[in-house]
Amino acid sequence: MSSSRVLASASIVAFAWMGATSGCGDVEPRERVDAFVDPIEIDAAVASPDAYFGFDAPDLDAPFPDAFVVRPDAWSGMDAFSMDAFSMMGGTDAFWGTCTSGGRMGTCMPMSMCSGTSVRGLCPGPAEIQCCLPGGDAGMFDAPRPMGTYSVDEVVARLGACARIGGDYARDSGGTSDIPVCQTDDVIWWDADMDIDCDGGRGAECMSDPYYLPDTSAVDSMGRPLDASTLPFVVIPLPSTRFRSADHGIRHGQVALAMYRDRMVFGIFGDLGPAAIIGEASYAMAVELGIPPSPISGGVGSGVHYLIFTGAGARVTRNEDHDEAVTMGESLLADFMTP
């Protein structure tokens, strides 16, 4: 049995103990622990803590495991993982382990012991145990959240007021040109309508588009046009005096995010459109956003937010790999939302 397995079991014991003392039901703590953890593993850890936890047996007060499992009420402090328990475990590295935030390595420890920056949500145990990053301004911050925990309103708020870098564009041919292209940090964005791009689409509905073109400006890893029927992507206007995307670190395959109402969908920059019009995305992107996808009668007149993450590090390796775009997009969005 590996030490990591026992270490994980010990963590489960901790959480089981906290559940046992929360006032839910009349089950005794030991019974609740046994429901989650194999006693053989716990006994093994008790018998030879140096083998399983990575520190010398003299550093562990022998009664600790029995008291922890059988008599949690004998413990005092903030909870089962009290500061006394923490000191008995032999220091920060012995039990809480390491952590990473924003590419920086830290140590899980009590917030009160951290002389650098404490980041919530990256370490096991109670709220007091946080990821301590060396250096920087002392303080406490939240760890980046996964995409699903950000709302459209939160992302829009993070974008802030438009710092104009291009435009103005019209929604449709002959319309008023009043849509600017904006930038916030490494994200270029605009708010517009959504017209449906079916170019390259191999589905029947896309191929029924009277303006259908068999090619897209971006291609897949085999040199074929992207399939607008199945691949979410956004369209950027052709280069002009209004805006040249290449001048801002944007190439085909750049990770994009489209938002409409309460929906957010990652994709890529996959096609070029008319030089004076903005606000277009693939059939598949419309489907994911809940926008009518018909190339003839679909789309929506306003309310769509388009974001492009710039730079080589925000570009997929295979344009057709939507999973790669989503994985990269979630990381890029988390970084953008926690500047």
Residue 58: its pLDDT value, please?
40
> How many folded domains does the chain comprise?
3
Q: How many residues does the chain have?
A: 339
Residues 203 and 321 in one domain: yes
pLDDT at 77 over 70: no
The predicted pLDDT at position 159 comes to: 96
Confidence of residue 46 (pLDDT cuts 50, 70, 90): very low
Residue 61 sits in the same domain as residue 107: no
The answer to whether residues 86 and 235 belong to one domain is no
Residue 111: DSSP 8-state: G
Q: Residue 58 is encoded by which pair of tokens?
A: 């003299």
Question: Which residue range forms the structural domain that includes residue 9?
Answer: 1-91
Q: Is the pLDDT at 2 greater than 60, yes or no? A: no
More confident residue, 58 or 336: 336
Q: Scanning the structure block, which residue is given the tokens 């995307």?
A: 245
List Cβ<8 Å contacts ≥24 apart for 171-179: 171/277, 171/278, 171/279, 171/301, 171/302, 172/277, 173/274, 173/276, 173/277, 175/277, 177/276, 179/278, 179/279
Q: Who contacts 172 (Cβ-Cβ below 8 Å, separation ≥6)?
A: 193, 195, 277
Given this model, what pLDDT does residue 261 score?
A: 92
Distance separating alpha carbons of residues 191 and 28, to the nearest angstrom: 57
Prior bond of 93 cis (ω within 30°)? no
Query: CB-side exposure of 59: number of CA atoms within 13 Å?
Result: 17
Helices 39-47 and 63-70, interaxial angle, to 10°? 150
Tens-digit pLDDT profile for residues 110-163: 877 877 766 666 777 777 787 787 754 444 444 444 455 789 999 999 999 999
Q: Pick the last residue of a domain from 119, 143, 167.
A: 143
Pair (116, 211) in one structural domain: no
Average pLDDT over residues 304-333: 95
**pLDDT over threshold 90, residue 193:** yes
157 plus 253 within the same structural domain: yes
Residues 232 and 157 in one domain: yes
Asked if 288 and 249 sit in the same domain, the reply is yes
3-state secondary structure of 249: coil
Residues 200, 330, single domain; the answer is yes
Residues 23 and 153 in one domain: no
Q: Are residues 162 and 306 in the same domain?
A: yes
What pLDDT shows up at residue 104?
64
Of the residues 66, 91, 116, which one is the last residue of a structural domain? 91
Look-up of token digits 């997009």: 329
The three-point CA angle 60-65-71 to 5° equals: 135
| Residue 208 DSSP SS3 | coil
Which H or E run includes 265? strand 263-273
Does the pLDDT value for residue 92 go beyond 70? Answer: no
pLDDT of residue 119: 67
The structure's pTM equals 0.59
Is the CB of residue 307 less than 8 Å from the CB of residue 189? yes
Which of the four pLDDT bands, split at 50, 70 and 90, describes residue 286?
Answer: very high
∠152-155-159 over CA atoms, to 5°?
A: 135
pLDDT for 245-279, tens place per residue?
Answer: 999 999 999 999 999 999 999 999 999 999 999 99
Q: Which two tokens mark 91? A: 């220091």
- Are residues 80 and 214 both part of a single domain? no
Same domain, residue pair 177 and 36: no
Mean pLDDT lowest among 147-156, 188-197, 284-293 = 147-156
Q: Give residue 120's pLDDT.
A: 65
How far apart, in Å, are the Cα atoms of 102 and each of 116, 122, 151, 195, 328? 15, 11, 21, 37, 14
